[in-house]
Chains A and B, each alone.
Chain A
């Protein structure tokens, strides 16, 4: 995941075959039933997000309508259609985290990052999301940055945590 998040997404379009790496994967999965979601996952890992051009490329390669591909992409919250930040912050809003103050963390982060839920900071450093229970209820309220879990977060700790990135 770290690798995927850190992957540069801006310089892909210059080469002649912008999605050559993905094409090999698509060939591998071509005849497998239900291959679309797998391919989308890998595509997002490779290129950071699923741009319209990337979705078009996948739809064309799999001979599926673009509307079907984008239907799947927009259905699942894991998929992103816009460039993502270098790091992903996910604040847990599962029941336990919510009652222990998860919402306050969300509000504070919105203010300090200057973006709404689902948004990416102007410097491209953080993408800010919420999660529904990350399975760390004993550590509530919890949040994740990439794959590191921060336990018992309170708003005073936030600056210190963010400064590590």
Chain B
């Protein structure tokens, strides 16, 4: 314990705390900006400076550890003045188009200015060049970046992938992929964790709202919406509810009021995934036990960020992935085949929208593998945050909506599907079904929860032994199946290294790309509640426990789907619609035709005139290939156009003002 004094009062605090943490424990708030609780790496913004007796300068409270007898002042005149100057300096190189910024009123920089009482921006200096980099998932607008480096910490320390980092030096510093490559052209998994921690509008999901409005307004389209399990315990936060509040009924009601024709639930295909994936696992294990060839461990494939990561990082281990598509693409595929037949509509007239906690799913749907008969399984993905924006735009009073149900046949689900949204959930759901299929008895865990894999440890493991098996599954008698669960790409990396070295002791592994699972996905609401993770986790477990049916194979509509259409799990039709294959990419895309693309960047132009001449031809070819996605390019151009227009308006205004002054003087002279 250390004895310290803050603002004249003595406190006793634990060893090893930073000043900001110690102050917070005793209810003293120190304003901060770049500080990221738990994983703080850089003290870059210096907003949290405090006065420490005996120190020559103000010290950053987020980086300075408490020491015995420390005397700290957190809010003297000197400290407050310093913070204001620091804040104004940040603003001097920030594009201040706040009113038309996506983060308006949810911007931490904006809130901080209010908190610090800043009412003037005294410093007008050179502004960084504006680079807007639009990929299918993530949009980077570096004119808004304040170089706080939270995204660098999320990408490098939390996820361990290190796609973005500081490039160049001094005023030219920009947070970007290597050599300022376009983020869509490198090995980014599109997990979107950077967009969650960004305090301003610099990193965000690439907008799909406009495309969805257009589809809803197009009377020739049947617009189908589906929502992932993690949305129902998170979207309430956008409307002022406590994290983890279960708002499933209001969510369905809101979607209906937005004008969607069918409101389905991705949970339905989560149940279906369990039957497909469970069957695949059993057949792999059977093959291994009966002397055949089988690749084990099998790894789940619901998380497209994880998929892209493994394609880049472990291109030789792709056979370990389950061939199941992610649940929302399964639902899209069924909507445009099974359901289209039921309602007698042409598949091409059906537009499928997925509400996802995920930014990677925006890129997943444009993969050529996610098509059947030339039609994309899913046409647009909205993040939880985007859906909240649409609900607001539509003037829907979310909190006062009645509770409604999802539509059938693709809207009914069991409790097992709900927990797909949290780390360990897919595994638990699979075990509930597989164990019962094999033994005819319920999974022997209290409340059906596989306790060793519940919670937020990076890697969790468990073992299940089969005894008294049913006749069809005698090959499993006495067999112990070892499982592991991880969330976040850093944890996945550990398990993949074992596999690569041939030392993995497991048979089945669940991987979710975001730490904590989909409840903490890159498209989820940004939260300042330190317990947000466990609250959302609790919410989903409660959702599961509240259901009568809690095992995927009990879902009557899934049974009906097999009876009417798919015939049996892993059957021919299933393989066509619900299963996929993966692409060997390599860290630098060396196994594909795509190359890391140097693109055209203003900063580079000056530095590398000579090289540009040499590479111009090659580069133009690459740029053309990359810009296949025309709509994305148009978005970028439009954004740039809007910015230039506003700059022009500013300049015109200034010219007008000077003109009037000159005219004024001229008339006085006369």
Contacts and interface: CB of A to CB of B under 8 A. Distances in A.
B161 interface: yes
Contact of B610 (A65, A75, A83): A83
Contacts of A82: 607-608, 610-611
Q: Which of B164, B166, B610 has the most CB of A within 10 A?
A: B610
A68 B609 CA distance: 24
Interface in B164-218: 164-169, 176-179, 186
Interface string A86-126: 00000000000000000000000000000110111110000
B610 A56 contact: no
A107 to B, nearest CB: 17
Interface in B597-619: 598, 606-611, 613-614
Interface string A55-78: 110011000111111110011100
Most buried by A among B161, B178, B609: B178
B162 interface: yes
B165 A74 contact: no
B658 to A, nearest CB: 32
A60 B587 contact: yes
B614 A55 contact: no
A97 B587 CA distance: 47
Contacts of A121: 610
B167 A70 contact: yes
A64 B161 CA distance: 9
Given A55-B178, A83-B610, A74 B156 contact: no
A122 B186 CA distance: 31
Contacts of A70: 165, 167, 178-179
B156 A65 contact: yes
A65 B162 contact: yes
Contacts of B179: 52, 55, 70, 74, 81
Contact of A67 (B167, B588, B608): B167
Interface residues of A, number: 26
B464 interface: no
Given A67-B177, A82-B611, A52 B598 contact: yes
A120 B167 contact: no
A116 B605 CA distance: 11
Interface in B638-659: none
A119 B596 contact: no
A118 B587 CA distance: 31
Contacts of B437: none
B598 to A, nearest CB: 7
A67 B167 CA distance: 8
B615 to A, nearest CB: 9
B596 A56 contact: yes
B608 A115 contact: no
A60 B186 CA distance: 14
B168 A120 contact: no
Interface in A22-73: 52, 55-56, 59-60, 64-71
B131 interface: no
Nearest to A68: B165
Nearest to A49: B611
Contacts of A81: 179, 607-608, 611
A119 B169 contact: no
Interface in B141-177: 156, 161-169, 176-177
A67 B162 contact: yes
A74 B170 CA distance: 11
A121 B588 CA distance: 31
Interface centre among B156, B186, B608, by most chain A C-beta atoms within 10 angstroms, is B608
B609 A116 contact: yes
B162 A68 contact: yes
Contacts of B610: 82-83, 115, 119-122
Contact of B606 (A65, A68, A83, A116): A116
5 contacts: A69-B178, A70-B165, A74-B167, A74-B179, A118-B607
- Per CB-CB distance, the 5 closest pairs between chain A and chain B, nearest first, are A65-B162, A82-B611, A70-B178, A67-B165, A120-B610
